[in-house]
Amino acid sequence: MSPTPLPKPAAGLQQRLLLLLLAPLLLLAALNTWFDYQLADTNAIQQDRQLLTLVPQLAESIQAYGAWPPQTPTLHMAPEIAEFLAARQGRSAYAVLNSEGGVLLGSAWLGDYPPPTYEPEFSSQEYNGVVYRIVSQRIVGSPGELTVRLADGASVRTQWLLRIWFKVALPNLLLGLGAGFGVHWAVRRALRPLRELRDALEGRSPRDLTPLDAAGSPDEVRPLVESLNRLFALVNAQTESQRRFVADAAHQLRTPLAGLQAQVEAWALPEGNTLTLPAEQLHKLRDATRRTSQLATQLLALSRADARAGQPEPTQAIALKALCEQVLEDYLDAAAAKHIDLGLDASDITVMGYPWLLRELLSNLVDNAVRYTPAHGHVTLRCGLRASLGGAPAQAYLEVEDDGPGIPAAERQRVLERFYRLPGTQGDGNGLGLAIADEISRVHHSQLQLQGASQGRGLRCTLALEPVRE
């Protein structure tokens, strides 16, 4: 079975508008040229008719003198011929030729061979830069066989060639160019709201579902903007419902999980094992409840970060050094239990942000560092100002560095995905810590950077922030 051919893409709206607007203009220009040609042809026919009417009168104006044979022809101009030559002085001529084509009377440049028949014959000839329309006719009179020729230099066809260039083609060309530029400018200006709408949509974050400004859109674009706003509202409602579900589920699970974890921790104590379960099973049950409790806590944090990303609120001034000290105190016991050197290298710096979100980000980074750094390792929290490249103003930063196993460069982007864990990773994590930190970094219009540690082993997680400048 042959594949179904794909439909051809439709031409752009701007190209179609230009075609539809310029095509009638070109058609009108062509019709104007055609009508002008028809008018010139009609005038040329009238000119030929006038010459055809005058040439017999020119023949009748010839008179002969002297004895026969031969008689010498003379010319006694008929009034119509005289008026014609006077009205076109310098642009008309006549000649009387003998049977060999020699000029007996009139302009010498009109000498030519006699026509083969006695019917009038028309021709065109250029002389001194003027194209003449000439009618020739053989006659037989008392002087013998003669040929009379009458020329009109006001050639309608020549005038038409000049007129078609100077009065039709050139103006139409200039008009077409001007119309093309004008129509192109008008079409681009008329379609500017569509381009602005496209730029507004392309520049949006995937989580930005705020409605577009329909009131400021043209009438033709407003239905599209209103349809997009309705779509945004539906997607936002669905996303908000999902967030509420995750938050409610995580919140409802925290209390029973906390009670279950406390009970299991009590059973795991040597003096609290009243169930006579093997210690190994109690430890597995304790680790499972810890992971489940941590998962509920992280899901709740992730839901709150998502909600804050979709509904931005005013930020607050945050002292990064005080924030690092608070998180450091929270993890001193966990670090001491593994004999990990948990240190702080902090400078006084203030940034604008969401305090509880930055605390959650830093807690997840420190928790991961302490969890995966082997015993007797080192974990360091840092904050301060760091010079930017290219002469840009210095940026504030939060940083957690450890000398644990680290993350391969090829996997550093994937570990920011939710529920993704490196193959072969030891520990009881859920794959949400770095994902939550990355989500919070985007809420603060930044990006979490994962790099190798300065000692060549371990991981360094850095978040750049905009400092409060006085």
Could you give the CA distance from residue 402 to residue 368 in angstroms, rounded to a whole number?
10
Could you give the CA distance from residue 355 to residue 323 in angstroms, rounded to a whole number?
8
Alpha carbon of residue 406 to chain centroid: 42
Please give the average per-residue pLDDT across 217-242, as a whole number. Answer: 76
What pLDDT is recorded for position 383? 92
The residue to which tokens 């009508």 are assigned: 35
Q: Provide the phi-psi class of 420: left if phi over 0, else alpha when psi is between -120 and 50, else beta.
A: beta
For the cut 60, the answer to whether the pLDDT of residue 307 exceeds it is no
For the cut 80, the answer to whether the pLDDT of residue 408 exceeds it is yes
Please give the average per-residue pLDDT across 24-40, as a whole number. Answer: 64
Task: Name the least confident of 294-303, 333-342, 418-427.
Answer: 294-303
The residue to which tokens 């030519």 are assigned: 112
Please give the average per-residue pLDDT across 368-394, as a whole number. Answer: 85
What pLDDT is recorded for position 10? 41
For the cut 90, the answer to whether the pLDDT of residue 324 exceeds it is yes
Domain 207-312 has CATH 2.60.40: no
For the chain, the domains span 13-162, 207-312, 314-470
State which of 34-38, 196-200, 355-359 shows the largest mean pLDDT.
355-359
What pLDDT is recorded for position 88? 80
Better-scored residue on pLDDT, 31 or 384: 384
By residue count, the chain amounts to: 470
What pLDDT is recorded for position 298? 61
Q: How confident is the model at residue 72 (pLDDT cuts 50, 70, 90)?
A: confident
Sheet strand arrangement including 130-141: 103-106, 92-97, 144-152, 130-141, 121-127
Please give the average per-residue pLDDT across 205-213, as a whole number. Answer: 72
Please give the average per-residue pLDDT across 288-296, as a whole number. Answer: 61
What pLDDT is recorded for position 76? 80
What pLDDT is recorded for position 11? 46
What pLDDT is recorded for position 68? 57
What pLDDT is recorded for position 6? 41
For the cut 80, the answer to whether the pLDDT of residue 341 exceeds it is yes
Domain 13-162 has CATH 3.30.450: yes
What pLDDT is recorded for position 319? 92
For the cut 60, the answer to whether the pLDDT of residue 155 exceeds it is no
For the cut 80, the answer to whether the pLDDT of residue 80 exceeds it is yes
CA 169, 173, 178: angle at the middle one, nearest 5? 150
Q: Answer whether 448's CB lies under 8 Å from 434's CB.
A: yes
What average pLDDT is seen over the chain?
A: 75
Phi, psi (5° rounding) for residue 38?
-60, -40
What pLDDT is recorded for position 39? 55
Please give the average per-residue pLDDT across 417-424, as a whole number. Answer: 75
Cα distance from N-terminal residue to C-terminal residue, the chain: 71
Q: How confident is the model at residue 77 (pLDDT cuts 50, 70, 90)?
A: confident
For the cut 60, the answer to whether the pLDDT of residue 8 exceeds it is no
Task: Name the least confident of 89-93, 213-217, 378-382, 411-415.
Answer: 213-217
What pLDDT is recorded for position 1? 45
What pLDDT is recorded for position 296? 60
For the cut 60, the answer to whether the pLDDT of residue 337 exceeds it is yes
Better-scored residue on pLDDT, 292 or 200: 200
Q: What is the CATH number of domain 314-470?
A: 3.30.565.10
433-to-227, 245, 393, 440, 452 alpha-carbon distances in Å: 38, 20, 30, 11, 18
Predicted TM-score (pTM) of the model is 0.45
What pLDDT is recorded for position 461? 92
Give me the percent of the chain exceeding a pLDDT of 90.
10
